[in-house]
Amino acid sequence: MIGPVLAGFAGYAYTAHKVREIERAYPNIGERIDVGGYALNSVHVQRSSGADLPPIVFIHGASGNLRDQMAAFRVPLEGRAEMLFVDRPGHGYSDRGGVENDYPDGQAEAIARLMEKRGIARAIIVGHSFGGAIAASFALYHPEKTLGLMLLAPATHPWPGGVDWYYRVASNRYAGWLFNHLVALPAGLSRLDAGTRFVFAPNARPQTYVAETGPALVLRPETFRSNATDVANLQAYVRQTQPYYREIEAPTVIITGDSDGVVLEEIHSRGLARDIKGSELLWIRNLGHKPDHVVTDVAVAAIEKIAGKDRDLQDLARRAEARLAGDAAR
């Protein structure tokens, strides 16, 4: 018995040490604001005098934090719009809150309250991957706050099969505590480089991506459990919610690639294009799961079109395809 106990203590101590290292490497760059008994963390970029776009709220995907969308969009949109980059409940430096935040509609409600605290009445809502399910729920349940939707490689519809086994283990109340404190962090660190490259594939991961976005933050035990709970609950949630997407009336652009190794674009993106009347689907060949970082120019143009500017998004998508084809040939 002594050996396993000592090994457990050693694993727990290692995780605690690495958590401190990760948080020193990626400290909180936002502000935590109470949204009803718990705090959400966000970076609020104020509107400038030269702004030509409405407010924009960015919702990151699974295993992410607000740094991810900031790295893609802050510079190209700086000075053009008021922007709110959010750590979703239980991610980054946000508290988890109650059990309602185990589902996308609860997280959408939390973000709606944060917008109120930040003085943002209406905004274009941008959601990547898992954040797409939250953005779609936001438009369903908070239409008065939704100026438009941009959905990037979204995960919004029921899919065949389930999720990887470790999401079920990590989200379990008892076994999950042991897994998240002893196994998840060292295993995750060993796969961090390969995992982030896989998310971008077949496109190249930017050299500065890991340093800028802090993906290791998700490996902290409580954050890992929150992320696992999100993913484990998504299938049942979207099965229940998907029939109501037809009620969304906000201007919507969906950007997806035909080479996404994370979500099934044929199910999610084409499903949204079918369900949301008047939405525009940009289907880009040779694009993986990160249109936010790989075809940022197309995404910015989509925001502009949602805001009422004249943009030929299909032409821009074809130009992006040509660029990606050239990259693949080199």
- The distance in angstroms from the start CA to the end CA of the chain is 57
In order of 51, 59, 154, 251, 307, the CA distances from 281 in angstroms are 27, 19, 12, 12, 17
The DSSP string of 60-88 is --TT--HHHHHHHHHHHHTTTS-EEEE--
**How far is the C-alpha of 230 from the C-alpha of 104, rounded, in Å?**
8
Compute, in degrees rounded to 10, the torsion defined by CA atoms 12, 17, 21, 24.
100
CATH code, residues 26-161+236-329: 3.40.50.1820
Task: Give pTM, 2 decimals.
Answer: 0.96
Q: What is the Rg, in whole angstroms, of the alpha carbon atoms belonging to the chain? A: 19
Assess contact for 65 and 149: CB atoms under 8 A.
no
Q: How far apart are CA 48 and CA 254, in angstroms?
A: 28
pLDDT tens-digit profile, the chain (330 residues): 554 433 455 678 999 999 999 999 999 999 999 999 999 999 999 998 989 999 999 999 999 999 999 999 999 999 999 999 999 999 999 999 999 999 999 999 999 999 999 999 999 999 999 999 999 999 999 999 999 999 999 999 999 998 999 999 999 988 999 999 999 999 999 999 999 999 999 999 999 999 999 999 999 999 999 999 999 999 999 999 999 999 999 999 999 999 999 999 999 999 999 999 999 999 999 999 999 999 999 999 999 999 999 999 999 999 999 999 998 877
Residues sharing a CB contact under 8 Å with residue 62, sequence separation 6 or more, in sequence order: 129, 130, 155, 227, 230, 231
Strands 31-34 and 39-45: what pairing? antiparallel
For helices 184-200 and 175-182, give the axis angle rounded to 10 degrees. Answer: 80
